[in-house]
Structure 1
């Protein structure tokens, strides 16, 4: 296993083999679940050396566990980073980045449209601790440039915004940020490898809700923070394993390791189905607009072709007409969503099954109406995570649901 040149293999090979070797004790092919809270030492001297970091090893699973370390190595290699911290949730990753990189008196620039819970952390929690936050349109380089202050320490945004599906030029933002001594953190949940590689584009930190595409089976809550060893080590030592205590369970790490081995195949099907469904939705007269970077109608389609390597994923949003047969957009949304049979009403994404939700009343309900309006999250907007079913069946499901509006 150690003879594999991971710098010169394809994504699928990397996803299967990176970070994992047959168990040295019994030869188990699958990484064992080390379901233990603590680890024993042969001598006091050994324990002292491991706690002090003089020799490698494990002491207590909150600070490190063999199953989780295998996962962290794999995710770091998939993203092209030196180190990775696995967390108990996506918000654990967000909190780890914010508390690990910022202190009172610092200033953060955040993209206008981010996940609702992230928005709450930025608008309320961080400001309570003396961190100033400015929201800017990260698709507009000039808006970000104007927002930078002397105390700006971090620019934070999503590679593909949730749920408005706008792309940010990571390379351009990173160049601007580094010129001003500012770090860049990118939430890459919606566009994981092999779609977008933020670190290769110049970002300093990339984070994920591994609950979504990375695990891919809808049975784990998890997150990850990836970057250089220099940036990741203090976050692990002082934040995720201490003040936040967001260490994942070994069993969840095992499940994600399992899920990652089919990631290349899963993502190919998500992308294929996503394009088919997006093209269908664009043809529906009740649909006002479809937000999917793979469509030529998307205003950033040319950027998407380059940055996403023509892998456009399975996540999209679409708006209904403002008035449909006497119904306003929100009423029509509810009627369509409630009529779906294959697609489940659920707020996650990246599952094998197709999921649909209404952002304004679900994932982004914690945001004020004014904040949602600023972010472009309308009442008649539906977010769709296209699953791995046969695309014709997903489309037929939507056809029968739209028929209820007649």
Structure 2
């Protein structure tokens, strides 16, 4: 069944008590179900809310189906989902991390490694041989990739990474927050785990912090992840689970619209005299376009970045001059955002100093294009492109 159909109906959801087509919110912390569970022999999740709730269970069922996974788990934040995976590692283990990994997750992982005796190596996930060289036979337990990576939107070969990880006795985790299961299903290409910051596209309305993990196999390692979620109290609460489910219903439409608009904007920026480079895998000239075509379905996502032919100060000024784009960080919501990425990431940032990151929302494409044109035309050293060419 197509993802859009699964999402619109939440996997043909029907409330077992009322027959409602919208999940109910059950805020009770403790439960006393009839039968064996009431005597303490049933599922813990059905009796105490720190282990789960009915809304989270529905979201997990839908996500597992969307990703083609054996099981899913939702968390109180994307960072909580990441920590649950890291909790499976032990002192002396080795982890290979994307050298272009999202800066905040990168910092979390490296800090964890320093504190818990886990060695973290960086490797270019778009160069499989580099990843192979970073592996340590008998020590590497996890390879952590992003598809696409933030903020340059590079696309790794998931099949190749899975083969390298498995040959070395490790699991492959793919952070697919930006691609979403509408566009890419890493488990189909051999990944073991998929991570989402559900705060972003899965919810899509900027009013929820959440995370999700989906697994290819619900074995012992997965049970450890679930146990970590219970131990850390990071299950997604009932009302937040309800918000996530509400947002997921429109995911397919939102991703389709954002992808279409992002491609229009990327195509326009690629011909603008004041833009030096555009990073978007949907552009035919992008170095990752061919691989993205093989791994993505129906679009290339709503995120792109571009480097201006100027300085960091010029890039900051452009961000300040936009009227439709909102100057803020985050992504995947209904409103379009603009930011000077290096300022957001801080001193340790490795992204180009004149790079501007865009998160495309649901506004009309023409309004966004004209807004960028006006902001770009303010650069003194830049020839203004005719408005007719920008639309």
Q: Secondary structure at the match of 2:276?
A: strand
Give the alignment's TM-score, normalised by structure 2. 0.93
Shift of 1:19: 4.6
Counting matched residue pairs gives 377
Counterpart in the other structure of 2:358? 384
Counterpart in the other structure of 1:240? 229
Q: Map of 1:39-58 to 2, 5 A cutoff?
A: 39-42=31-34, 46-51=38-43, 58=46
Counterpart in the other structure of 1:335? 317
Counterpart in the other structure of 2:80? 92
Instruction: Quickly say closer, same or farther: Cα 1:392–1:23, change in 2 above 3 A.
Output: same
Q: Map of 1:125-274 to 2, 5 A cutoff?
A: 125-150=112-137, 151-227=139-215, 228-230=217-219, 231-237=221-227, 239-242=228-231, 244-274=232-262
Deviation >6 Å, runs of 4+? none
Shift of 1:127: 1.9
Q: Map of 1:95-114 to 2, 5 A cutoff?
A: 95-100=83-88, 102-114=89-101
CA contact (8 A) 2:33 2:46 kept: no
**Any unmatched runs of 5+ in structure 2?**
381-391
* Aligned-residue CA RMSD (Å): 1.5
Shift of 1:48: 0.8
CA offsets 1:223-243 (integer angstroms, 9 cap, x no match)? 001102113222112x1110x
Shift of 1:181: 1.3
Q: Distance in 2 between matches of 1:310 and 1:236?
A: 33
Q: Distance in 2 between matches of 1:104 and 1:85?
A: 25
Structure 2 residue 367 is the aligned partner of structure 1 residue 398: no
Q: Distance in 2 between matches of 1:206 and 1:194?
A: 13
Q: Distance in 2 between matches of 1:318 and 1:27?
A: 49
Shift of 1:169: 0.3
Q: Distance in 1 between matches of 2:233 and 2:356?
A: 35
**Any unmatched runs of 5+ in structure 1?**
1-8, 324-328
Q: Distance in 2 between matches of 1:45 and 1:404?
A: 67
